[in-house]
């Protein structure tokens, strides 16, 4: 378990593998957040252009899209989404998102589980999180908490019954990875921005339908030869309708990236990808929904409790990557 001048390594595991995996992942998350901000800015620009446009030809419409009102709209909404998610990330309140049916267990009832959580907390250099158990035979696990000092790790009874110690350690390492990487806070910040985009689109679409939108609405009928109006309306509608959907896709993509990141972080802690690989196989085989999970909490779990993605059918709407892809990446770390 030692190398003279670099981080300690085990079983032929190059010390930099998980680190570069983590770096790639963080870079990917940053890009996705930029895309999210651009979606918000595009929506703001199309709204601004609609508000400013006074009728005219197609080229007038195009210049309105880059006019001062459009730019102001883009900056306003782009900045608002950046600020809003930034504030969420920076503050991170004391909220501990609850999973119904999970209750805290004492060390005397689950000594081994407590031991493994302590081991992973030491490996992460973080305080020990609360330990929760959900009484269901479906094996799964989750982590929650907006700050590292106030977090919780929960496992189901089925997980405790079906996994070996090493596999359980891999799973707890994954959950500790979510806590160390501040994923609950991350996903809350992304969710807040996605919510902002959805809200603004909704308001803009309603205003448009009621006809109170754009100074030239009334003149649209008598100014048929302009054609610019139509172009702008199409651009606006495309943005207002597609922006919330695109934002949702980005949200799920971020969620998948954070799952990969937590897998890599688990290997950083345990220095042993085999435990997590074995656990993921067992978990996926036995996966099915259980009381206490919903669409709102599905991203918290180590494997998606609501939908099964055993095949490599890549889904834009998945909170978790396909199992094969996760295992393939883990095997790369161990190669």
Partner 1 sequence: MDTTWIVIGIVVVVGLWLAMTYNRLVSLRNQARNAWSQIDVQLKRRHDLIPNLVEVVKDAMGYEQETLRQVVEARNSAVNAKGPAEVGVAEAALTAATTKLFALMENYPQLKANDNVMQLQEELTTTENKISFARQFYNDSIMGLNNMVQSFPANMIAGMFGFAVMPHLDIPDAERAVPKVDLR
- Give the residue numbers marked as catalytic: 175
By CB under 8 A, tell whether 118 contacts partner 1. Answer: yes
Q: What is the CA radius of gyration of the chain?
A: 24
Nearer to partner 1, 120 or 243 (CB): 120
| Smallest distance from partner 1 to CB 3, Å | 9
| Smallest distance from partner 1 to CB 168, Å | 12
Q: Angle, nearest 10°, between helix axes 165-180 and 111-124?
A: 50
Beta carbons within 8 Å of 124's beta carbon, 6+ residues apart? 176, 177, 179, 180, 269
SS3 325: helix
| Smallest distance from partner 1 to CB 86, Å | 19
Q: Which of 124, 152, 163, 247 binds partner 1 (CB under 8 A)?
A: 124
Question: Of 76-84, 120-128, 181-189, 220-228, which segment contacts partner 1 by CB under 8 A?
Answer: 120-128
By CB under 8 A, tell whether 122 contacts partner 1. Answer: yes
By CB under 8 A, tell whether 311 contacts partner 1. Answer: no
Nearer to partner 1, 118 or 325 (CB): 118
| Dihedral (CA of 251, 256, 260, 262) sign | positive
From residue 292, give the alpha-carbon distance in Å to each of 100, 305, 317.
5, 10, 21
Tokens of 88: 């969420």
Nearer to partner 1, 13 or 102 (CB): 13
By CB under 8 A, tell whether 296 contacts partner 1. Answer: no
By CB under 8 A, tell whether 4 contacts partner 1. Answer: yes
| Smallest distance from partner 1 to CB 161, Å | 16
By CB under 8 A, tell whether 14 contacts partner 1. Answer: no
**CA atoms of 78 and 101, how far apart (whole Å):** 39
**CA atoms of 223 and 125, how far apart (whole Å):** 68
CB 319 within 8 A of CB 250: no
Instruction: Look up residue 299 and give its DSSP letter.
Output: G
By CB under 8 A, tell whether 123 contacts partner 1. Answer: yes
**CA atoms of 279 and 266, how far apart (whole Å):** 12
By CB under 8 A, tell whether 90 contacts partner 1. Answer: no
| Smallest distance from partner 1 to CB 270, Å | 8
Residues 149-188 that bind partner 1 (CB under 8 A): 165, 169
Instruction: Say how far residue 243 (Cα) sits from the centre of its chain.
Output: 17
Question: Of 6-14, 30-38, 72-80, 225-233, which segment contacts partner 1 by CB under 8 A?
Answer: 6-14
| Dihedral (CA of 84, 89, 90, 95) sign | positive
By CB under 8 A, tell whether 8 contacts partner 1. Answer: yes
Binding interface with partner 1 (CB under 8 A): 1-2, 4-8, 111-112, 115-116, 118-120, 122-125, 165, 169, 269, 271
């Amino acid at each position: 378990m030692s190398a003279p001048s670099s981080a300690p390594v085990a079983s032929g595991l190059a010390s930099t593998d998980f680190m570069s995996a983590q770096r790639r992942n963080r870079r990917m998350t940053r890009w996705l957040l930029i895309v999210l901000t651009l979606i918000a800015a595009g929506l703001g620009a199309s709204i601004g252009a609609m508000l400013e446009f006074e009728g005219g030809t197609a080229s007038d419409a195009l210049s309105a899209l880059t006019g001062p009102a459009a730019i102001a709209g883009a900056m306003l909404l782009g900045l608002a989404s950046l600020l809003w998610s930034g504030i969420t990330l920076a503050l991170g309140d004391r909220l501990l998102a609850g999973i119904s049916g999970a209750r805290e267990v004492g060390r005397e009832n689950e000594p081994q589980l407590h031991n493994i959580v302590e081991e992973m907390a030491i490996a992460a250099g973080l305080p020990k999180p609360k330990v929760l158990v959900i009484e269901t035979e479906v094996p799964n696990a989750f982590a929650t908490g907006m700050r590292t000092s106030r977090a919780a790790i929960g496992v189901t009874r089925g997980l405790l019954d079906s996994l070996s110690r090493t596999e359980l350690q891999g799973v707890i390492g994954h959950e500790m990875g979510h806590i160390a990487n501040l994923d609950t806070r991350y996903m809350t910040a992304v969710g807040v921005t996605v919510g902002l985009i959805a809200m603004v689109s909704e308001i803009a679409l309603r205003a448009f339908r009621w006809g109170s939108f754009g100074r030239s609405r009334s003149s649209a009928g008598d100014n048929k030869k302009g054609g610019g109006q139509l172009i702008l309306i199409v651009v606006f509608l495309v943005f207002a309708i597609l922006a919330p959907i695109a934002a949702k896709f980005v949200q799920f993509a971020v969620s998948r990236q954070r799952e990969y990141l937590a897998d890599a972080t688990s290997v950083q802690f345990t220095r042993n990808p085999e435990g997590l690989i074995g656990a993921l196989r067992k978990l996926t085989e036995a996966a099915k929904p259980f009381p206490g999970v919903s669409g709102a909490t599905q991203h918290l779990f180590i494997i998606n409790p609501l939908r099964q993605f055993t095949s490599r059918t890549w889904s834009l709407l998945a909170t978790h990557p396909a199992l094969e892809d996760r295992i393939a990446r883990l095997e790369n770390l161990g190669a």
